[in-house]
Amino acid sequence: MIDVEVFLAALIIFIGSFVQSSIGFGLAIVAAPFLFLLSPDYVPAPITLVALVLSIANAYRYRSNISLKGLGAAIIGRIPGTVAGGALLLWVDAKSLSLFLGLSVLIAVAVSLLPVRIAPTTPRMLMAGFLSGFMGTSTAIGGPPLALLLQHEQANLIRANLSAFFIVSCILSLLVQGYTGHMSWHHFMLTLPLIPAMLLGYWLATRYVEHVSNHHIRMASLCICSLSGIGAIVLYWMS
């Protein structure tokens, strides 16, 4: 008999993985609020584990486009941001985390829609790394700050460098999540059924992404993000 919760979680991961493999980020921002609605146990550790595997796959695929020069500052900023995000996990309960998660998603969507071109200077990469660490560790949504800085770069460069950054980010987040008790054997077992769905989303994106408009993919993902963020906030008010 099919476990409905596991099936829905896998479907959400499939969609998020397809989006991230297509535009460079989006797994967590699409999936985290919906997974939180299914069970708070899915956020942040299981989705971070899935993101780690997906980031390794995408970084390998676009490895020729990785530029370590710009990533250095972002990774340095990521370290204190990870610690701050871990502290938040110790201070807030699941209900408050739901509100923070929803607001983070909606803010990320709003910022992504702004017609502003922000150059990825070293200080900005440092700050983006910090914000990514804070959001990624506490809610598993760490992509938007860095993606915003890189959004006007060449598509494969965005995919490659975000993926490389996410590998380091996910490892740091998992270490902190483990220390705070948010990463355990239970969370690992929750993750296992999600890996095949993630790989399927990745595979589908690699086959068809060149035939789909990046603009349409971006607009669709922002709509999904908005709905998921609103859903997390509604859950906060209903609980």
Q: What does 3-63 look like in DSSP terms, one character per residue?
A: -HHHHHHHHHHHHHHHHHHHHS--HHHHHHHHHHHH-GGGTTHHHHHHHHHHHHHHHHHTG
How high is the pLDDT of residue 214? Answer: 67
Percent of the chain beyond pLDDT 70?
97
Reduced to 3 states, what is the DSSP secondary structure of residue 213? coil
Residue 146 buriedness (CB in 10 A; 0-12 / 13-18 / 19+):
buried
Q: How many residues does the chain have?
A: 239
Range of the domain at 145: 4-238
pLDDT tens digits for 114-138? 777 778 889 999 999 998 888 888 8
Cα distance between residue 52 and residue 73, in whole Å: 20
Residue 28 and residue 143 in contact, taking contact as beta carbons nearer than 8 Å: yes
Q: Domains in the chain: how many in total? A: 1
The span from the first CA to the last CA of the chain, in angstroms, equals: 30
The pTM (predicted TM-score) of the whole model is 0.85
Which ranges of the chain have pLDDT less than 70? 1, 214, 217, 239
